[in-house]
Amino acid sequence: MTIVSKLPDISTNIFTVMSALATEHKAVNLGQGFPDFPMNQDLIGLVEKSMRSGYNQYSPMQGYLPLREVLSKKIHSLYGTSVSPDSQITVTPGGTYGIYTSLTALLRPGDEVIIFEPAYDSYIPNVVVNGATPVLINLQFPEYKIDWEEVKRKITPRTKLIMLNSPHNPTGSILKEEDINQLRSLVAGTGIYILSDEVYEHLIYDNAPHCSMLRYPDLFERSFVCFSFGKIYHCTGWKLGYVVSSPSLMKEFRKLHQFNCFACHTPSQVALSSFLENKEAYLGLGSFMQQKRDYFISLMKDTKFDLLDSKGSYFICATYNRISDEKDSDFAIRITKEFGVATIPVSAFYQAGTDNKVIRFCFAKKEDTLEKAVEKLRKIG
């Protein structure tokens, strides 16, 4: 029997490859985006309490209602938007699942989806497997800004959706009000939808605002907005997130969700419904992670890497022009093997492998992890 692959051009992703290489060479892993410090002990205690209190069976398909209710209050508090916990919020097994299910609810063969590169690695396969066509637009290097004039040129009658990601993985760039104004003008009066990946919602630095689609009613009505508890509360292994949308879009989302997953981990949802009542637990996350970003930047001043700007996320990118003219993938592999620090080559986030000689560091680590890594990075060059 022969399987005709729906993703014939897809192989093992770069995160798996580099993490395996890091393990093999006992390297400090600043590649894959996960913290190496403990998550909040109070939240752990609430999960244990939930399990001991008997919350161990299926939760509703839409998610545990008190959790959806507290999320609705949070959204209103942050963005001034009223969202129904009954018809507009669905708890999902992670942000990536939310992205895939949103796309599957909308896309049909022949549709076109605008994707900005470098792009998180699930976007293009999710579009392709649904029979749609990715229309790729490079963010302007080195600021990684959207060229809205190019976006206008790439819009066709088949354009079904625009994918956005802010704060951005892998670059740490963020959307600004000028981007929102351009987006509003572009989609007004059209049938173009928006998928907004906002899993790093609270990890924004330097007092910049988060331009969430939830903040703008005209954009939100045509949007799926995807979030991740794992990214915010440093528990990526939980694979728990949520999607917010208009009632009509969420109805279609749930038609798929009920057959793919149906219910997510109940004790974690019960715990989060209590934990989210403490606003400081999420409002203070930006300053907490900014301290790590700033500490990493200060350490890296003694290296020959040139760091690019990072306004959000777990990540900061760097050029290595003062060290080598190697391809970024070769360079990343070499420094893992020879110097013991694993990173991610940014060319892996481009379909065509565009190589600007940039690698991505994850600074969501303990201080001593960052110190060990930079001690090794100082020796390069």
Q: What is the 3-state secondary structure (H, E, C) of the chain?
A: CCCCCCCCCCCCCHHHHHHHHHHHCCCEECCCCCCCCCCCHHHHHHHHHHHHCCCCCCCCCCCCHHHHHHHHHHHHHHHCCCCCCCCCEEEECCHHHHHHHHHHHHCCCCCEEEEEECCCCCHHHHHHHCCCEEEEEECECCCCECCHHHHHHHCCCCEEEEEEECCCCCCCCCCCHHHHHHHHHHHCCCCCEEEEECCCCCCECCCCCCCCHHHCHHHHCCEEEEEEHHHHCCCHHHCCEEEEECHHHHHHHHHHHHHHCCCCCHHHHHHHHHHCCCCHHHHCHHHHHHHHHHHHHHHHCCCCCEECCCCECCEEEEECCCCCCCCHHHHHHHHHHHHCEECEEHHHHCCCCCCCCEEEEECCCCHHHHHHHHHHHCCCC
| pLDDT, tens digit (0-9, with 9 covering 90-100), for 306-341 | 999 999 999 999 999 999 999 999 999 999 999 999
| pLDDT, tens digit (0-9, with 9 covering 90-100), for 294-311 | 999 999 999 999 999 999
Q: In the chain, what are the domains?
A: 14-39+283-377 (3.90.1150.10), 57-277 (3.40.640.10)
| pLDDT, tens digit (0-9, with 9 covering 90-100), for 5-53 | 999 888 777 888 888 999 999 999 999 888 999 999 999 999 999 999 9
